[in-house]
Chains A and B, each alone.
Chain A
Amino acid sequence: AQSVTQLGSHVSVSEGALVLLRCNYSSSVPPYLFWYVQYPNQGLQLLLKYTTGATLVKGINGFEAEFKKSETSFHLTKPSAHMSDAAEYFCAVSVGGGTSYGKLTFGQGTILTVHP
């Protein structure tokens, strides 16, 4: 079975600072990996995804993530935080097939706070 661990339930940065949100996964087969963002009282918006190919993935709003198989990690970064980035971020893994068909397994989430 697959699992996701997000290190740090809360991350606080200053506006303009680097954003780093950590995600480690566990999967017995090659995973598909996702980052979603959730603003208060809203659903989930896809930021980026890794399926196959290039390990550095670029997403919306200036975010990117790098798939590191040897470290089983998929950390999310943004060079310069903006106030509008304040939200909760979820890392998720999917392996598909069998009883896991269509199943995304999510981490616990990381709340990002951006200070002026």
Chain B
Amino acid sequence: DAGVTQSPTHLIKTRGQQVTLRCSPISGHKSVSWYQQVLGQGPQFIFQYYEKEERGRGNFPDRFSARQFPNYSSELNVNALLLGDSALYLCASTLMRDQETQYFGPGTRLLVL
């Protein structure tokens, strides 16, 4: 079975621009979480979505938003990019009956210049 997939793999943007990152969960998984991993640090929780609704939110500004589609895929949007948004963005999916185990995708590496 395919794991969690993310696109694009790499992205370069300039300050002030907007970016959209995409995630497809493991087949049968209904929940998607997003994390930001800045170089040299552990991942930080941004959002969790389940059945198209936001179910959890981390300490990130309103420039960060997300949504989940009927097929359970998800998009993360970041507006007004700052240099500090440069990071690896990880998506994880969860099988709700085993909701504590999150399976991660390979990530999207975003560089903001």
* A contacts, CB < 8 Å to B: 4, 32, 34, 36, 42-46, 49, 51, 90, 92, 94, 96, 99-109
CB distance from B37 to the nearest CB of A (A): 9
Q: Report the separation of the CA atoms of residues A4 and B56 in the bound assembly, to the nearest whole angstrom.
A: 19
CB neighbours (8 Å) of A102 from chain B are 31, 33, 45, 48, 50, 55-56, 94, 99, 102
* B contacts, CB < 8 Å to A: 4, 31, 33, 35, 40-45, 48, 50, 55-58, 90, 92, 94, 99-107
Q: Report the separation of the CA atoms of residues A46 and B33 in the bound assembly, to the nearest whole angstrom.
A: 15
B105 touching A103, Cβ below 8 Å: no
CB distance from A98 to the nearest CB of B (A): 9
Q: Report the separation of the CA atoms of residues A43 and B100 in the bound assembly, to the nearest whole angstrom.
A: 18
CB distance from B91 to the nearest CB of A (A): 8
A43 touching B57, Cβ below 8 Å: no
CB distance from A80 to the nearest CB of B (A): 27
Residue of B41, B48, B103, B104 near A108 (CB, 8 A) is B41
Residue of B56, B106, B107 near A103 (CB, 8 A) is B56
From B4, B31, B90, B104, name the one whose CB has the most chain A CB atoms within 10 angstroms: B104
